[in-house]
């Protein structure tokens, strides 16, 4: 939720929909055009890698582009324990092989723009 500061220094947290409702038609058009420019600039940026240590639908850790060795170390730490658990369950129930493969810890990679990398995945700590 964005934080807005007035000219007197007071701050207020306001949701996007709540903020948009306060705008005039000219302000809405201006905001739309400015957002389109920011989106174009963000999408034109080079892509960065985010290494994700995953198990099933859960991401156990996200690592910066240069931290691939940390991601590998994390995977090695969790792989054996979870593999053994999942293998035992598979032997007992013989559920689908695709589900088995998805449940095994693995590293996935996300390619994101520099904007997303800096603002969503690894924002600077304030």
Do 64 and 40 sit in the same domain of this protein?
no
* Other beta carbons within 10 Å of 13: 9
66 and 24 housed in the same domain = no
Average pLDDT of 20-45?
93
pLDDT per residue as tens digits for the range 41-89: 999 999 999 999 998 889 999 999 999 999 999 999 999 888 888 899 8
Claim to verify: residue 32 and residue 90 sit in the same structural domain: no
Instruction: Indicate if 34 and 63 belong to the same structural domain.
Output: no
Same domain, 37 and 14: yes
Residues 103 and 81 in one domain: yes
Q: Which domain holds residue 33?
A: 3-44
Phi, psi of 3 (to 5 degrees): -110, 125
Residue 78 shares a structural domain with residue 55: yes
What is the model's pLDDT at position 59? 93
Percent of the chain with pLDDT over 70: 98
Share the mean pLDDT of the chain.
90
Q: Six-digit token pair at 75?
A: 């995977």
Any idea what DSSP says for residue 6? -
- Rg of the chain over CA atoms, in angstroms? 22
Q: Per the domain annotation, does 126 fall within a domain?
A: no
Between CA 25 and CA 33, with CA 27 as vertex, the angle to 5 degrees is 105
- With a cut of 90, say whether residue 115 has pLDDT above it: yes
Q: Are residue 74 and residue 104 in the same domain, yes or no?
A: yes
| pLDDT at 2 (0 to 100) | 66
Q: Which residues of 102-119 are buried (b: 16+ CB within 10 A; e: fewer)?
A: ebebeeeeeebbebbbee
Provide the pLDDT for residue 56. Answer: 82
Residues 15, 70 within the same domain: no
- Reported pTM: 0.69
- Name the pLDDT band for 1 (thresholds 50, 70, 90): low
Claim to verify: residue 55 and residue 40 sit in the same structural domain:
no
Please state the domain count of the chain.
2
The predicted model gives 102-118 an average pLDDT of: 93
């Amino acid at each position: 939720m964005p934080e807005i500061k007035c000219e007197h220094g007071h701050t207020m947290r306001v949701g996007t929909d709540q903020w948009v409702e306060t705008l005039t038609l000219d302000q809405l058009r201006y905001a739309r055009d400015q957002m389109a420019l920011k989106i174009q600039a963000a999408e034109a940026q080079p892509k960065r890698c985010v290494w994700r240590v995953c198990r099933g639908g859960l991401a156990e850790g996200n690592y910066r582009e240069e931290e691939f060795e940390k991601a590998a170390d994390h995977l090695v730490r969790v792989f054996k324990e979870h593999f053994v658990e999942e293998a035992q369950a598979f032997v007992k129930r013989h559920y689908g092989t695709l589900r088995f493969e998805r449940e095994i810890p693995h590293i996935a990679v996300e390619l994101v723009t520099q904007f997303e990398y800096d603002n969503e995945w690894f924002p600077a700590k304030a």
